[in-house]
Amino acid sequence: MTPSVPSTNSAQKPKLPEPPGLGKRLVRYILGFGVSLAIGLAPFLGKVDIPLFDSLLSILPESEQAVLIPLSSALMAVIAVAVQWWAISKVSGAWLQRVFSRILVVLATSFALFLIVHNFWVVRVPIAGGDEYVSFLVGFNRPIRSPCGVEISDSRCIALLTFDPTLISSFWGDRAIRVSRLLVFVSYLSFMGAFGALVGLLILKEDQRRVTTHRGARDVDTGPPAREPGANAPEVAKK
């Protein structure tokens, strides 16, 4: 009779020792900010489709979305850590006002830059009779050679190149496409980072107001300490 051999799946896995207290907190914080935060922001970042909502990432080429989603998640995690740090540091209201104004300027600038970059370096090509669109990165100056002549638009040129990203990159030039990709990444991540920072500062401001209101209500309920009868009364000189 052949002896039974225990299966590998049923074999008990060795139990790894848990990290010390500080290391355990570090693991929890990294998973919380790096994983849970990214999962919670998945609809906003464009990883999960929601009916009647299109993320800003949807207007960019699909080939770039696969890179921008993890970069955006990492950026949001860094911003969340910074907001947590500011909350522990108890920053002043004047500091929050100053930083909020500066980041608001960065937000407006990066949004304008993103619109300019998208207008010049991203081409939307209609497909399915114009009901749908696909986007492609192109260079700033299009070469005038076969199969694209002077009178052909960029979208028509991409269609003549059979929508192949490798042929598009070869036609406009690899270096031009890399420059376009860098401009798209910088403008998009700057806008997303500034937006996340503004939301974080708003949370800090709300926490400050809540703490101030709570302290004010506690002082009103408690009131000044009661005085003992005759404690502050002037002493009567003994005769």
pLDDT score of 23: 85
Domain assignment present for 157: yes
Q: Residues 89-94: what's their mean pLDDT?
A: 87
Domain assignment present for 224: no
pLDDT greater than 50 at residue 111: yes
The pair of structure tokens assigned to 166 is 């490798």
The answer to which of 42-46, 149-153, 169-173, 222-226 has the lowest mean pLDDT is 222-226
Mean pLDDT of the chain: 84
Domain assignment present for 183: yes
pLDDT score of 11: 55
- The DSSP secondary structure of 73-122, one letter per residue, reads HHHHHHHHHHHHHHHHHT--HHHHHHHHHHHHHHHHHHHHHHHHHHHHHE
Condensed to tens digits (0 to 9), the pLDDT of residues 132-144 reads 889 999 998 899 8
- The number of distinct structural domains making up the chain is 1
Distance CA 136, CA 118 (A): 10
pLDDT score of 210: 81
Distance CA 96, CA 77 (A): 20
pLDDT score of 209: 83
Domain coverage including residue 183? 31-218
Domain assignment present for 188: yes
Condensed to tens digits (0 to 9), the pLDDT of residues 171-185 reads 999 999 999 999 999
SS3 content of the chain, % helix, strand, coil (to 5): 65, 5, 30
Domain assignment present for 99: yes
Angle between helices 174-222 and 93-121 (to 10 degrees): 160
Domain assignment present for 11: no
pLDDT score of 233: 46
Domain assignment present for 174: yes
Distance CA 79, CA 193 (A): 7
Domain assignment present for 199: yes
Helix H or strand E segment including 212:
helix 174-222
